Amino acid sequence: MINKYTWIVLKKELTDIFRDKKTLITSILIPILVFPIMAFVIGMGTDKFIDDSSQDISIAIISEEESKLESFIRDHEGINVVAPDNPEEALSELDIKAIIKIPQGVDQQIENDEMPDIEILYDSTSTNSDSARSRVAGIIGEYSQSIVFNRLEELGIDPQVLNPISVSSTPIANQDEDAGLGIMILSMLLPLMLTVWAAVGGIPAATDLGAGEKERQTLEPLLTTRANRLSLLMGKYFAVVIAAIMGTIAALIGFGIAGKINPNFMGTGSGMPLKSAVAVGILCIGLALVFSALELAISFFARSFKEAQTYLSPLTIVVMLPAYLTMYLDGKEIPEYFFHIPLVNTIAVIKESIVLVFNIQHILIVSGWTILYIALALFLTVKMFNKESVMFRS
């Protein structure tokens, strides 16, 4: 199967791939750039959200008399009380972020142990207005709590009676909150990145080495050489696999750059043990072997380069769907049947590795299925490549 002709074809196809700027941009440059750009955009959005949250919010208070509650709100840090001519119009234009309506006689109602109704008007379509509503509600809650504490003290009761249980949260050994955040982000993004690029990273190369050669009419001369069809196919196949692996490595490099650009993008996280990293790497290569064969078969079936692109485009959606569906899957509680579902099983092993679970049984199960998928995909590709009606149809 693998002989000197296979290596000659492989060398020739790799030379063509590295010579083609379009393939290099699609398979290498874009995977490197996509995550740094994502980290930069997320960082900008996070910084803006933090800045908006830390700034004073402008609100209006509608009341017929001065009250202790109004004074408490006015004196609270981060609140800027303004008096627009038309408060509701100002709110609709977001000149103010919320309106507080305080009923008349609120102080007297509180002294009489009655419950006054305080109304907060806000714009539910605005995140800033909704955030302001939450902050204002929290301030009113503080005032309400202070009244409760004063009443209890007047009755000679310790206000701590309202908090009979003290709760503290402590991460287990060798963990902290930042590490947990990093692991959570990694478990969502890393499986998506590895599986998607391993599966679809070879599409540009497969499109060019199959349908592209048919369209350029360079496939027929290649078939007349001394190399048999299987040797030619294996040379092309391994070139597509290498392109897919290069795309995955490029995506990993981009992921690392993203972490440098925005450290909060991944948190501090925990390092994956070497044995887990090796297992994940082998399974991702297996995924590349499976999908490279399928992509090459589809490319050979297509009549033209454009037709091959049309056929191969939905493959990206097919790959991304299980990656998104399992994004919030807990790596420590993965159902057993997940390890028997194509593509999902590879994602499951990656998620286990991220949370430091090394289950050799799961790895062997997924490896067995992957070998079967590779055999079936190669069988289909060989059948397609040997059909004259497919290879030379126009």
pLDDT at residue 100 in the model: 92
pLDDT at residue 48 in the model: 57
Residue 51 in any domain: the answer is no
Are 140 and 270 within one domain?
Answer: no
Are 30 and 136 within one domain?
Answer: no
Give the count of domains, the chain. Answer: 2
Domain end call among 162, 196, 221: 162
Are 208 and 87 within one domain?
Answer: no
Tell the burial category of 152 from Cβ atoms under 10 Å away from its Cβ (0-12, 13-18, 19+): middle
* CA gap 295, 200 in Å, rounded: 8
Residue 20 in any domain: the answer is yes
Residue 48 in any domain: the answer is no
Are 145 and 250 within one domain?
Answer: no
Residue 62 in any domain: the answer is yes
Tokens of 60: 């209006």
Tokens of 40: 């930069």
Domain end call among 104, 130, 162: 162
pLDDT at residue 367 in the model: 92
Are 307 and 190 within one domain?
Answer: yes
Alpha helices (H) along 55-124? 68-75, 87-92, 106-111
Residue 43 in any domain: the answer is no
Residue 170 in any domain: the answer is no
Are 132 and 85 within one domain?
Answer: yes
Are 11 and 71 within one domain?
Answer: no
* CA gap 349, 187 in Å, rounded: 11
Question: Tens of pLDDT along 186-232?
Answer: 777 778 888 888 888 888 888 888 888 888 888 777 777 777 888 88
Tell the burial category of 108 from Cβ atoms under 10 Å away from its Cβ (0-12, 13-18, 19+): exposed
Alpha-carbon separation of residue 364 from 192, 354, 378 (angstroms): 21, 18, 21
DSSP class of residue 333? S
DSSP class of residue 173? T
Residue 172 in any domain: the answer is no
pLDDT at residue 264 in the model: 60
Are 267 and 221 within one domain?
Answer: yes
Q: Are 135 and 55 in contact (CB under 8 A)?
A: no
Q: Do the bridges between strand 98-101 and strand 119-121 make them parallel or antiparallel, or are there none, so unpaired? A: antiparallel
Strand stretches in the chain, DSSP E: 57-62, 79-82, 98-101, 119-121
Are 238 and 209 within one domain?
Answer: yes
pLDDT at residue 191 in the model: 85
Are 62 and 189 within one domain?
Answer: no
pLDDT at residue 172 in the model: 62
Q: Contacts by 381-386 with C-beta closer than 8 Å and gap 24+?
A: 381/233, 381/237, 381/293, 381/294, 381/296, 381/297, 381/300, 382/230, 382/233, 384/297, 384/300, 384/301, 385/229, 385/232, 385/233, 385/297, 385/300, 386/229
Question: Tens of pLDDT along 59-90?
Answer: 999 988 888 888 998 888 888 888 888 988 88
* CA gap 169, 192 in Å, rounded: 31
Residue 46 in any domain: the answer is no
Residues with pLDDT less than 50, the chain: 268-269
Are 129 and 192 within one domain?
Answer: no
* CA gap 205, 216 in Å, rounded: 15
Alpha helices (H) along 262-302? 274-301
Are 201 and 129 within one domain?
Answer: no
End-to-end Cα spacing for the chain: 29
pLDDT at residue 263 in the model: 65
CATH number, domain at 76?
Answer: 3.40.1710.10
Domain end call among 162, 186, 215: 162
pLDDT at residue 161 in the model: 75
pLDDT at residue 187 in the model: 78
Q: What's the domain range around 126?
A: 56-162
pLDDT at residue 293 in the model: 92
